[in-house]
Copies of this chain bind each other. A is one copy, B any other.
Amino acid sequence: MIGRLNHVAIAVQDLDAACAVYRDTLGATITPPLPQPEHGVTVVFVELPNSKIELMSPLGEGSPIEAFVARNPGGGIHHVCYEVDDILAARDKLKAQGARVLGTGEPRIGAHGKPVLFLHPKDFLGTLVELEQV
């Protein structure tokens, strides 16, 4: 069911410092910061030849990653995102197997403008999993 590893997301408090780590220290290509007020985050993509790292920091009040960055002030891996062809079919198959889908269970339009769902980390080896329909 799952396809490509679309990205690994790292949440940080200080996005400029995070950009410096990937751009200057690790020598990778990064995109300009993209504020996404509707998602409560500002994101920067680290472009690797086969995949991406998504650096994100909280934006505005009540950001969904606020508690995470408070617990991990130096940053931490927040989630991994796998691509699927059909997100509703994927959701229904996962639910039938007892896996928990977060939120309402209805796909939302994610940070890349595509339908996404998040799966409960306790059902996926302690890893928050995002599914993105591509």
Binding site for B on A (CB under 8 A): 1-5, 8, 10, 12, 18, 21, 24-28, 48-51, 53, 55, 72, 74-77, 80, 82, 93-94, 97, 99, 122-127
Contacts and interface: CB of A to CB of B under 8 A. Distances in A.
Contacts of A24: 97
Q: How many copies does the complex hold?
A: 2
Q: Is the interface of A mostly helix, strand, loop or mixed?
A: loop
A74 B127 CA distance: 9
Nearest to A99: B25
**8 pairs of A and B residues whose beta carbons are closest in the complex:** A1-B27, A75-B125, A76-B126, A75-B126, A5-B51, A50-B50, A4-B50, A74-B126
A43 to B, nearest CB: 14
A55 to B, nearest CB: 8
B5 A74 contact: no
